[in-house]
Structure 1
């Protein structure tokens, strides 16, 4: 069962993975390189995930002929989007929140590898109503 504590612990591990990747590569690579390294790091930590997962879009219960793709969908409850941008822009935040809503995921992390320090300036964590109603433990 997914709980707030479980999601917090999972978030800690994912951000730790990003810190490890960033320590190794630093900033300046393409997003695809960080994604591949994150996949390796998550595998090393035995964390289950889907990558480049297609997210279907529905309109009034009817599937539309479009899909979004999230970078990482971790343990079927945490959406992770990776960026390599000068700054985290509002459109990236909106993208992550949309993916969370479509997947009914209670939590998401936006990670920007184009920074000096992942924890202080390179990540933002988001929760939504699904998180609010999860049990604490």
Structure 2
């Protein structure tokens, strides 16, 4: 790459949000799978795909300097796609939390004698 293109590429990388930059570099430089990137960043694999697509869009826009109709439409849809990915992630976390709460309820003692026994032990300590 020539110096001007390399400078524009580095400037585009510097302007990216930290998580998007991390996802892009893990994908392109370290050549990791989406699942590995998701695990390392603590996000969903769908969010990794979304971040990578948006990053490629931003870098392409910075390098080309012009926006096609498809790029403009994609830019308009970014807000909705990000909101949908956040909703899916919240729903997934809620489901995982519900499974955890149900397991805790199954393991919790239901007999009052057990609670009295635990309270006596706490009183002796």
TM-score (norm 2): 0.31
Which structure exhibits the higher relative contact order, with contacts defined as CA atoms closer than 8 Å and separated by 6 or more residues? 1
TM-score (norm 1): 0.29
Task: Specify which structure has the higher proportion of helix.
Answer: 2
Task: Specify which structure has the higher proportion of strand.
Answer: 1
